[in-house]
Amino acid sequence: MSEDDQPVKSQQAALRELSDALEQSRKTWLNESLTGSPLWKLNYAVSDIGYVLATLDDAEAMKQRKRWVKLQQKVGEGAAWLITIDLLRDSLAESRQKKMASAVARLSAKPVNKCHKLMAKPEWVRIRRWWFGYLESMQPLDPTEAVTVAMTDRAEHRFLKLRNRILKHDNDQDLLKLEGATGELKTILSFSAAPDDRRHSQVSLLGDIESNIRLWRQAHTRLPLLKLLSATPEIDARLSLADDLAEIRLEQQRIARKRRDRVRRLLIGPNSE
C-alpha cells in the first residue's frame, strides 16, 4: 500500500498522537529546564492541536482550542527567553556567559518561573483532566465527512488573503498570522478524502511554508530580548559584551531575513528560486 493509499487518520487519533508529543516535550523540558528547545517544541504541538480542533468546527472544540491558546500565551515569554539563553550558551565562551548571567537571570526569572509553575505536576494534572476528559467524550468521526467544502473554502480564503498582503506589504504581524492560516489549511487538506497528487503537493508546500515561518519566528522572537539585554547596566558598561550581543543580533536578523525571503519565494511559487 502506497503512502497516498493509506486511510486518512481520524481527528481523535491525531489529537492523541499530538498529546503524546506534547507530554514528551514537557517531560524532556522538566529534566532539562535550563534549555528552551523542548518548550518550543511543546509550543508547536499546542499549535498543531489547535489546527486539528479547528477541523471539528463545533463549540466544544473551539472552547478547548481557546484553553490551549491561553496556555501558549502564558508560556510564550518564558519559552522565548529560554531559546534566547540557548543561543547565548551556543554563541559565547563560558567566561562571557558568566558576565551576562546576572542580567539574564534578572530579566528572565519571572517568565521562566511561570513556565515551571504551568508545567509542574499540580497544574499539569488539572490541564490533563480537562483535556483527556474532552478526548474521551469525543464521538467517533469520519474525518473526510467532518471536513466540509465550506470549511476548506474559508481556510483557503484566509490563507490567500494573508499571502497577498504579505507579498504586497511584508508585515511581521501578517507573517505571524500566516503561520496559523497555513497550519490550519494544511491540516484541513490532510484530513480531506482521497488525497491525489495535487493535494499531496499542496500539503507538502504548506508544510514547507509553515516550517520556514516557524524558523523565522524563532529568530524574530529573540531579537527584542537581545536588544533588552544589551541595554542593561551589566552589558552597557562593558563594550566588549555589547559588541558580542550586537554580533549575535545581526546574525539573528540575517537568519530571520533569510527565512522571510524563503517564505516569500514559496508564496510566489515553489519553483521561483
Rounded to the nearest 5 degrees, what angle is found at the Cα of 120, between the Cα atoms of 118 and 123? 60
d(CA 84, CA 81): 5
CA distance 22 to 128: 11
Angle at 172 between CA 113 and CA 56, to 5 degrees: 75
Q: How many CB atoms lie within 10 A of CB 19?
A: 16
Question: pLDDT tens track of the chain, all 273 residues?
Answer: 444 455 567 899 999 999 999 999 999 999 988 899 999 999 999 999 999 999 997 899 999 999 999 999 999 999 999 999 999 999 999 999 999 999 999 999 999 999 999 999 999 999 999 999 999 999 888 877 778 889 999 999 999 999 999 999 989 999 999 999 999 999 999 987 656 778 889 999 999 999 999 999 999 999 999 999 999 998 877 878 999 999 999 999 999 999 999 999 999 985 555
Round to whole Å and give the CA distance between 16 and 12.
Answer: 6
Three cell numbers written together for 181: 492560516
Choose among 268, 79, 263, 254: nearest CA to 178. 263
Pick the closest to residue 159 from 214, 196, 210, 198 (CA basis). Answer: 210
Output the CA angle 215-220-223, nearest 5 degrees. Answer: 135
Longest Cα–Cα distance in the chain: 65
pLDDT at 236: 76
Per-residue pLDDT, 195 = 62
Q: What Rg, from alpha-carbon coordinates, does the chain have? A: 21
CATH topology of domain 3-268: CHAD domain (1.40.20)
